[in-house]
Chain A
Amino acid sequence: MREPTFWILTALAAEPRHGYGVIREAAALSGGQITLQAGTLYAALDRLAAEGLVEVDREELVDGRNRRYYRLTNSGAAALGAEAERLRAGLDVATAQLKRFGLGGRVAW
Protein backbone atom coordinates (compact mmCIF):
# COMPACT_ATOMS: atom_id res chain seq x y z
CA MET A 1 0.00 0.00 0.00
CA ARG A 2 1.41 3.38 -0.97
CA GLU A 3 1.64 6.19 1.54
CA PRO A 4 -1.16 8.43 0.16
CA THR A 5 -3.52 5.41 0.09
CA PHE A 6 -2.61 4.56 3.67
CA TRP A 7 -3.34 8.09 4.88
CA ILE A 8 -6.60 8.37 2.89
CA LEU A 9 -7.90 5.17 4.47
CA THR A 10 -6.71 6.36 7.88
CA ALA A 11 -8.41 9.73 7.41
CA LEU A 12 -11.70 7.98 6.55
CA ALA A 13 -11.51 5.52 9.43
CA ALA A 14 -13.14 7.72 12.08
CA GLU A 15 -15.96 9.20 9.99
CA PRO A 16 -17.05 9.83 6.38
CA ARG A 17 -15.36 12.87 4.85
CA HIS A 18 -15.46 14.86 1.58
CA GLY A 19 -12.38 15.61 -0.53
CA TYR A 20 -11.11 18.63 1.37
CA GLY A 21 -11.95 16.88 4.65
CA VAL A 22 -9.70 13.94 3.71
CA ILE A 23 -6.84 16.24 2.66
CA ARG A 24 -7.09 18.21 5.94
CA GLU A 25 -7.41 15.14 8.14
CA ALA A 26 -4.50 13.32 6.42
CA ALA A 27 -2.30 16.39 6.91
CA ALA A 28 -3.32 16.70 10.56
CA LEU A 29 -2.94 12.99 11.38
CA SER A 30 0.47 12.78 9.72
CA GLY A 31 1.67 15.87 11.52
CA GLY A 32 1.93 17.78 8.24
CA GLN A 33 3.98 15.02 6.58
CA ILE A 34 1.34 14.35 3.94
CA THR A 35 0.01 17.09 1.64
CA LEU A 36 -2.38 15.36 -0.72
CA GLN A 37 -2.93 17.00 -4.09
CA ALA A 38 -6.55 17.03 -5.22
CA GLY A 39 -5.76 15.07 -8.41
CA THR A 40 -3.88 12.39 -6.45
CA LEU A 41 -6.68 12.14 -3.88
CA TYR A 42 -9.46 11.51 -6.40
CA ALA A 43 -7.38 9.08 -8.48
CA ALA A 44 -6.78 7.11 -5.25
CA LEU A 45 -10.46 7.35 -4.22
CA ASP A 46 -11.52 6.02 -7.67
CA ARG A 47 -9.12 3.11 -7.36
CA LEU A 48 -10.13 2.35 -3.76
CA ALA A 49 -13.82 2.52 -4.72
CA ALA A 50 -13.19 0.10 -7.61
CA GLU A 51 -11.44 -2.24 -5.14
CA GLY A 52 -14.37 -1.92 -2.72
CA LEU A 53 -12.27 -0.35 0.06
CA VAL A 54 -14.21 2.94 0.16
CA GLU A 55 -17.69 3.94 -1.01
CA VAL A 56 -19.79 7.06 -1.38
CA ASP A 57 -21.55 7.85 1.89
CA ARG A 58 -23.79 10.79 0.86
CA GLU A 59 -23.97 13.93 -1.25
CA GLU A 60 -24.68 17.45 -0.01
CA LEU A 61 -25.31 20.64 -1.95
CA VAL A 62 -22.96 23.39 -0.68
CA ASP A 63 -22.62 26.81 -2.39
CA GLY A 64 -24.38 25.35 -5.46
CA ARG A 65 -21.80 22.58 -5.76
CA ASN A 66 -22.34 18.92 -5.08
CA ARG A 67 -20.15 17.74 -2.21
CA ARG A 68 -19.65 14.00 -2.01
CA TYR A 69 -18.68 12.24 1.23
CA TYR A 70 -16.76 8.97 1.26
CA ARG A 71 -16.62 6.31 3.96
CA LEU A 72 -14.45 3.28 4.69
CA THR A 73 -16.05 -0.11 3.92
CA ASN A 74 -15.49 -3.20 6.02
CA SER A 75 -12.97 -4.45 3.45
CA GLY A 76 -11.28 -1.05 3.61
CA ALA A 77 -11.03 -1.30 7.37
CA ALA A 78 -9.61 -4.81 7.05
CA ALA A 79 -7.06 -3.68 4.45
CA LEU A 80 -6.02 -0.73 6.64
CA GLY A 81 -5.77 -3.07 9.65
CA ALA A 82 -3.56 -5.47 7.70
CA GLU A 83 -1.34 -2.60 6.55
CA ALA A 84 -1.08 -1.23 10.09
CA GLU A 85 -0.15 -4.71 11.30
CA ARG A 86 2.50 -4.99 8.58
CA LEU A 87 3.95 -1.60 9.52
CA ARG A 88 3.89 -2.50 13.21
CA ALA A 89 5.73 -5.76 12.53
CA GLY A 90 8.31 -3.84 10.51
CA LEU A 91 8.61 -1.27 13.29
CA ASP A 92 9.12 -4.00 15.93
CA VAL A 93 11.84 -5.65 13.88
CA ALA A 94 13.62 -2.35 13.24
CA THR A 95 13.42 -1.36 16.93
CA ALA A 96 14.81 -4.75 18.00
CA GLN A 97 17.65 -4.44 15.51
CA LEU A 98 18.46 -0.93 16.69
CA LYS A 99 18.61 -2.18 20.29
CA ARG A 100 21.30 -4.60 19.20
CA PHE A 101 23.11 -1.64 17.62
CA GLY A 102 23.02 0.08 21.00
CA LEU A 103 20.38 2.71 20.32
CA GLY A 104 17.59 1.04 22.34
CA GLY A 105 15.50 3.56 24.25
CA ARG A 106 16.96 6.48 22.34
CA VAL A 107 14.86 6.01 19.19
CA ALA A 108 13.01 9.25 18.53
CA TRP A 109 9.69 7.67 17.53
Chain B
Amino acid sequence: MGPSGCGKTTLLNIISGRLKSSAVTGTQLLAGSTFDDATLRAMSTYVEQEDHLIGSLTVRETLDFAAKLALPGNVSPTERRVRTEDMLRDFGLLSVKDTKIGTPLQRGISGGQKRRVTTASQLITLPKIIFLGAPPACLTESR
Protein backbone atom coordinates (compact mmCIF):
# COMPACT_ATOMS: atom_id res chain seq x y z
CA MET B 1 0.00 0.00 0.00
CA GLY B 2 1.35 3.41 -0.88
CA PRO B 3 2.27 5.60 2.09
CA SER B 4 -0.08 8.28 3.31
CA GLY B 5 0.22 11.39 1.16
CA CYS B 6 1.69 9.68 -1.91
CA GLY B 7 -1.22 10.80 -4.11
CA LYS B 8 -3.63 7.87 -4.20
CA THR B 9 -6.68 9.99 -3.38
CA THR B 10 -5.49 12.76 -5.71
CA LEU B 11 -5.26 10.27 -8.56
CA LEU B 12 -8.70 8.89 -7.70
CA ASN B 13 -10.11 12.42 -7.67
CA ILE B 14 -8.58 13.15 -11.07
CA ILE B 15 -9.70 9.98 -12.83
CA SER B 16 -13.19 10.28 -11.33
CA GLY B 17 -13.49 13.83 -12.63
CA ARG B 18 -13.76 15.44 -9.20
CA LEU B 19 -10.50 17.33 -9.51
CA LYS B 20 -10.47 19.69 -12.45
CA SER B 21 -7.43 21.88 -12.94
CA SER B 22 -5.30 23.23 -15.72
CA ALA B 23 -2.40 21.72 -13.80
CA VAL B 24 -3.69 18.24 -14.59
CA THR B 25 -2.35 16.69 -17.78
CA GLY B 26 -2.86 13.29 -19.34
CA THR B 27 -5.46 11.22 -21.13
CA GLN B 28 -8.40 9.11 -20.00
CA LEU B 29 -10.07 6.47 -22.13
CA LEU B 30 -13.35 4.61 -21.86
CA ALA B 31 -13.50 1.50 -24.01
CA GLY B 32 -10.58 2.90 -26.00
CA SER B 33 -12.11 6.29 -26.67
CA THR B 34 -11.90 9.66 -25.00
CA PHE B 35 -15.05 10.92 -23.29
CA ASP B 36 -16.53 14.07 -21.81
CA ASP B 37 -17.39 14.89 -18.20
CA ALA B 38 -21.10 14.31 -18.70
CA THR B 39 -20.52 10.77 -19.93
CA LEU B 40 -18.43 9.85 -16.91
CA ARG B 41 -20.83 11.57 -14.53
CA ALA B 42 -23.81 9.67 -15.95
CA MET B 43 -22.26 6.26 -15.51
CA SER B 44 -20.16 6.54 -12.38
CA THR B 45 -20.39 7.34 -8.70
CA TYR B 46 -17.85 8.30 -6.06
CA VAL B 47 -18.04 6.97 -2.51
CA GLU B 48 -16.21 9.34 -0.20
CA GLN B 49 -13.89 8.27 2.58
CA GLU B 50 -16.05 9.91 5.23
CA ASP B 51 -19.64 9.08 6.04
CA HIS B 52 -22.01 12.02 5.68
CA LEU B 53 -25.27 10.64 6.97
CA ILE B 54 -28.27 12.17 8.74
CA GLY B 55 -28.27 10.79 12.26
CA SER B 56 -32.01 11.13 12.81
CA LEU B 57 -32.95 8.92 9.86
CA THR B 58 -33.17 5.15 9.97
CA VAL B 59 -31.09 3.03 7.62
CA ARG B 60 -34.09 2.35 5.39
CA GLU B 61 -35.07 6.03 5.35
CA THR B 62 -31.52 6.95 4.41
CA LEU B 63 -31.47 4.63 1.42
CA ASP B 64 -34.98 5.66 0.37
CA PHE B 65 -33.95 9.32 0.58
CA ALA B 66 -30.86 8.61 -1.51
CA ALA B 67 -32.99 6.76 -4.05
CA LYS B 68 -35.43 9.65 -4.36
CA LEU B 69 -32.58 12.06 -4.92
CA ALA B 70 -30.50 9.99 -7.31
CA LEU B 71 -32.88 7.93 -9.39
CA PRO B 72 -34.50 9.42 -12.48
CA GLY B 73 -38.07 10.63 -12.23
CA ASN B 74 -39.41 7.83 -14.38
CA VAL B 75 -38.53 5.19 -11.78
CA SER B 76 -41.74 4.14 -10.08
CA PRO B 77 -42.11 4.17 -6.27
CA THR B 78 -42.47 0.41 -6.38
CA GLU B 79 -39.21 -0.05 -8.22
CA ARG B 80 -37.55 2.40 -5.87
CA ARG B 81 -38.69 0.37 -2.88
CA VAL B 82 -37.45 -2.82 -4.51
CA ARG B 83 -34.10 -1.19 -5.18
CA THR B 84 -33.89 -0.07 -1.54
CA GLU B 85 -34.73 -3.54 -0.25
CA ASP B 86 -32.13 -5.07 -2.59
CA MET B 87 -29.48 -2.75 -1.20
CA LEU B 88 -30.48 -3.50 2.40
CA ARG B 89 -30.15 -7.22 1.70
CA ASP B 90 -26.99 -7.08 -0.40
CA PHE B 91 -25.15 -4.97 2.15
CA GLY B 92 -26.28 -7.00 5.16
CA LEU B 93 -28.33 -4.19 6.63
CA LEU B 94 -31.71 -5.91 7.04
CA SER B 95 -31.27 -6.41 10.78
CA VAL B 96 -30.70 -2.68 11.31
CA LYS B 97 -33.04 -1.32 8.65
CA ASP B 98 -35.25 0.40 11.22
CA THR B 99 -32.39 1.57 13.44
CA LYS B 100 -31.41 5.22 13.34
CA ILE B 101 -28.01 6.13 11.98
CA GLY B 102 -27.26 7.85 15.27
CA THR B 103 -25.50 10.96 16.49
CA PRO B 104 -22.79 11.65 19.06
CA LEU B 105 -25.58 11.95 21.62
CA GLN B 106 -27.80 9.13 20.40
CA ARG B 107 -26.40 5.69 19.81
CA GLY B 108 -27.13 4.24 16.41
CA ILE B 109 -25.57 1.74 14.05
CA SER B 110 -21.88 0.81 14.14
CA GLY B 111 -19.11 2.48 12.18
CA GLY B 112 -18.85 -0.44 9.76
CA GLN B 113 -22.59 -0.36 9.18
CA LYS B 114 -22.43 3.38 8.52
CA ARG B 115 -19.76 2.71 5.89
CA ARG B 116 -22.04 0.16 4.24
CA VAL B 117 -25.00 2.57 4.33
CA THR B 118 -22.87 5.26 2.68
CA THR B 119 -21.74 2.86 -0.03
CA ALA B 120 -25.24 1.47 -0.60
CA SER B 121 -26.60 5.02 -0.89
CA GLN B 122 -24.19 5.72 -3.72
CA LEU B 123 -24.77 2.39 -5.48
CA ILE B 124 -28.55 2.67 -5.50
CA THR B 125 -28.45 3.95 -9.09
CA LEU B 126 -26.45 0.87 -10.16
CA PRO B 127 -23.61 2.86 -11.73
CA LYS B 128 -21.31 1.23 -14.25
CA ILE B 129 -18.14 2.59 -12.65
CA ILE B 130 -17.70 2.97 -8.89
CA PHE B 131 -14.88 5.03 -7.38
CA LEU B 132 -14.42 4.04 -3.76
CA GLY B 133 -12.44 6.40 -1.55
CA ALA B 134 -12.50 3.83 1.25
CA PRO B 135 -14.18 0.52 0.44
CA PRO B 136 -16.30 -1.13 3.14
CA ALA B 137 -15.00 -4.45 4.46
CA CYS B 138 -17.91 -6.33 2.89
CA LEU B 139 -16.54 -5.43 -0.57
CA THR B 140 -12.89 -6.17 0.14
CA GLU B 141 -12.90 -9.30 2.24
CA SER B 142 -12.31 -12.62 0.48
CA ARG B 143 -15.36 -14.74 -0.13
A and B together in one complex: no
Q: Which residues of B contact A (CB under 8 A)?
A: none
